[in-house]
Amino acid sequence: MTDNATIWKSLQQHLPRRTWIPIARVFAAVEQYVALDGEDLKYSRSERPRWKSNVRRLLRTKERAGRVRARESQ
């Protein structure tokens, strides 16, 4: 299972800062730049690959810590 630090480092290196980025683009960056293993590719209870659930969880954690901001609802 890929650790959060690896995912976060990759996002910081490959995505622009201070810009809202659609989750699909975040997922694409992780797929492209992180070496996902077999455990990452297994499906979670939410019927999506575990790595996608982990990315969402990581982003929520970073949001609570003030490191990222969610887009305002319209």
What backbone torsions phi and psi does residue 36 show, to the nearest 5 degrees?
A: -80, 140
For the chain, which residues make up each domain, given as ranges?
4-64
pLDDT above 60 (res 74): no
Kindly report, residue by residue over 14-40, the tens digit of the pLDDT: 999 999 999 999 999 999 999 999 999
Average pLDDT, the chain: 94
Which residues 6+ apart lie within 8 Å of 68 measured at CB? 59, 62
Task: Kindly report whether the global pTM for this prediction surpasses the value 0.85.
Answer: yes
How is residue 28 written in tokens? 């694409």
